[in-house]
Amino acid sequence: MPLNYSMLNKAVRRHRQVLTFALVGVVSSLVYLLVIGICAVGLGWRNTPSVILAYIVGTVVSYVGSGVFAFRKRMSGATLARFLLVVGASFGVNIFFSEILSPMGVHAIMVGIVNVILVGVFNFLCHKFWTFR
């Protein structure tokens, strides 16, 4: 069956925001994992400090990408405040799982992957329905 480009184009336009948010999430997650890899594997840092720095860098990428590309919202103090409140809550989730998994001998990259999945779902729901409403 040949690919119907017209239907594909309509589907992409209809779901542009979700797809763009997902792409921003992928980019910020890759940056997050890259920073963990550099810090924990390359520099020999412990998992938790690696995750903390990676989280900060990934958050900057996520805020700009989500605001500018996914939701096409003007950056404002209110949007930033809501974003940072969500980040604060998800930061706690991130550290919690790092502290639980690290003593079990879970590798830093695996800790990062678990956090990307759990925090990603939490962030999507909060930003979709609150931060960038």
The pLDDT tens digits for 8-19 are 777 778 888 888
pLDDT tens per residue, range 44-79: 999 999 999 998 999 889 899 999 998 888 889 899
Question: Taking the model in full, what pTM does it have?
Answer: 0.69
82-118 CB burial, b ≥16 within 10 A, e <16 = bbeebbeebbeebeebbeebbeeebebeebbbbbbee
Secondary structure (DSSP) of 60-90? HHHHHHIIIIIS-----HHHHHHHHHHHHHH
Which letter does DSSP use for residue 132 in this model? T
Domain ranges of the chain: 16-131
> In Å, what is the CA distance from 28 to each residue of 14, 22, 59, 105?
23, 10, 7, 25
